[in-house]
Amino acid sequence: KKGSRSIKMTLENEFGIKITHGKELFYPCKLDTSEAKFLGLNEEDLGMKVERTVFQGSKVLEYTKSTVRGDRFVYTTNF
């Protein structure tokens, strides 16, 4: 869109926060009761844990841990 900016650009230009690097970790897991219910699956079905950490130098800016459906997991990245 015309005039729209990425979150990264907004953080840099308006707040002086520069993302320097990040990492993501993916690993299979068996779903617990609440995860299975939320994802519409059965307890003990396979899911995928996703841990994401974004840094400014050695400072952590973001940390998220998610559980996604293992049968629909797709990972796409652009550089």
Give me the numbers of helices (H) and strands (E) for the chain, helices first please: 2, 3
Written as one letter, the residue type at 71 is: D
Task: Kindly give the confidence (pLDDT) of every residue in the chain, 79 residues in length, as a single tens digit, with 9 standing for 90 and above.
Answer: 556 678 888 888 888 889 999 999 999 999 999 999 999 999 999 999 999 999 999 999 999 999 999 888 888 876 5
Q: Which amino acid is at 73?
A: F
Task: Report the pLDDT value the prediction gives residue 51, as an integer from 0 to 100.
Answer: 95
For residue 42, the model assigns a pLDDT of: 96
Note the pTM of the prediction, 2 decimals: 0.73
On whether the CB atoms of residues 47 and 39 are closer than 8 A, the answer is: yes
Res 35: pLDDT = 96
